Amino acid sequence: MKIFSKLLKLIKEGNSFLLVSHMNPDGDAIGASIALAMGLKQMGKKGICVLNCNTVPENLIFLPGAKTVRQAPPKKRFDVVILLDCNDPGRTGFKEFNAEKTAIIDHHVMSEEVDAFYKTTDACLIDTGAASAGLLVYRVLNALKVTIDKKIATNLYTSIHVDTGGFRYSNTSPEALMAAAKLLEAGASPWDISKEVYENIPYKSIKLLGLSLATVEQKDGISWITTTKDMFDMTGTSAEDSEDFVDFPRKVRNSEVAVFFREDSKNVYKLSLRSKGRVDVQAVAAKFGGGGHKAAAGCRLEGTLKQVQQKVFDALKSVI
Ligand SMILES: [Mn+2]
């Protein structure tokens, strides 16, 4: 709580802010950043820049303020740079930030390398128990007595909704649900948001999903699907069209672990691993140079599909 008050002080005293989130941004990264920017503006702050090295994903462009997200910082010095939904500057895709002070608002576990950076920051709100970074922004805005209007509420509700898997994951806390209720009262519209975020998949991506789902297999508590380079070519799609494909093998009954094999180029596979809770897939991904969380991790492997699958299944069998 002491660190939290340090952050509030930093925000109150600063005037210009650079708000940066992780590359390949999701609804939490974007929603949390824009909501904070809007809150700061309401406080009369000038010179706020929301930054992400990637463009806003198409299903998030509807978010109020999405068009203000920039891919390159303006050439000026900021009072404060705030990292949102990540705690490692490397995850932002930028090498350095032109700012007087540094702060973090995040809910990810810190790696050891990041620890050194963390010690150099001026203020932090890191709560690994928080459902989303947007929920932390909600705490901050409330503490700063910002009025949560419809635009801020839409961004924050989206942030909480996507990071809890629509209030299904284990991070769905009383705080997340109570905040969601308040955000609805403030004007966020659940169906309008869900329609844009989830019911808005390009036709070609569904075609790709169809081809990929046909490969589903289950053995020894593991379920998996594969998307090959041919399938991407056949449907005119790319990696981003397969973003949530790993969710499908996870739905299979009697599976502890789900794996999605994505062929990026000949004999190069990107793997996504999901656990239903018992198995630590982060530890398995780490064996192959990857990382993530206990329940969601990823890594990259080289070899034929058969070789890659054998390696991963062997590693998984020893922990299931
Ligand atoms: Mn998040």
pLDDT at 34: 98
Conformational region of residue 167, where left means phi above 0, alpha means psi within -120 to 50, and beta covers everything else: left
Q: Which of 197, 214, 236 is the last residue of a domain?
A: 197
Q: Is there a single domain that holds both residue 11 and residue 108? A: yes
Q: Is there a single domain that holds both residue 216 and residue 179? A: no
pLDDT at 118: 77
Cα of 230 vs centre of ligand 1, distance in Å, is: 32
Q: Is there a single domain that holds both residue 108 and residue 86? A: yes
Q: Is there a single domain that holds both residue 227 and residue 190? A: no
Q: Which of 197, 215, 239 is the last residue of a domain?
A: 197
Give dist(CA 254, CA 221) in Å, integer.
Answer: 6
C-alpha distances out from residue 85 to 19, 145, 221, Å: 11, 22, 32
Cα of 86 vs centre of ligand 1, distance in Å, is: 8
How many domains does the chain contain in total? 2
Q: Is there a single domain that holds both residue 244 and residue 173? A: no
Q: Which whole number is the average pLDDT over 15-22?
A: 98
Q: Is there a single domain that holds both residue 170 and residue 261? A: no
Cα of 107 vs centre of ligand 1, distance in Å, is: 7
The least confident of 52-61, 90-99, 111-120, 309-318 is 111-120
Q: Is there a single domain that holds both residue 42 and residue 165? A: yes
Question: Residue 311: which CATH number?
Answer: 3.10.310.30
Q: Is there a single domain that holds both residue 190 and residue 216? A: no
Supply the range of the domain harboring residue 41.
2-197
Name the DSSP letter for residue 212. Answer: H
Q: Is there a single domain that holds both residue 37 and residue 136? A: yes
Cα of 318 vs centre of ligand 1, distance in Å, is: 30
Q: Is the pTM of this model over 0.75?
A: yes
pLDDT at 112: 66
Q: Is there a single domain that holds both residue 168 and residue 283? A: no
Give dist(CA 239, CA 152) in Å, integer.
Answer: 31
Q: Is there a single domain that holds both residue 190 and residue 228? A: no
pLDDT digits (tens, 9 = 90+) for 193-205: 999 999 999 999 9
Q: Which of 197, 216, 237 is the last residue of a domain?
A: 197
Give dist(CA 36, CA 49) in Å, integer.
Answer: 11
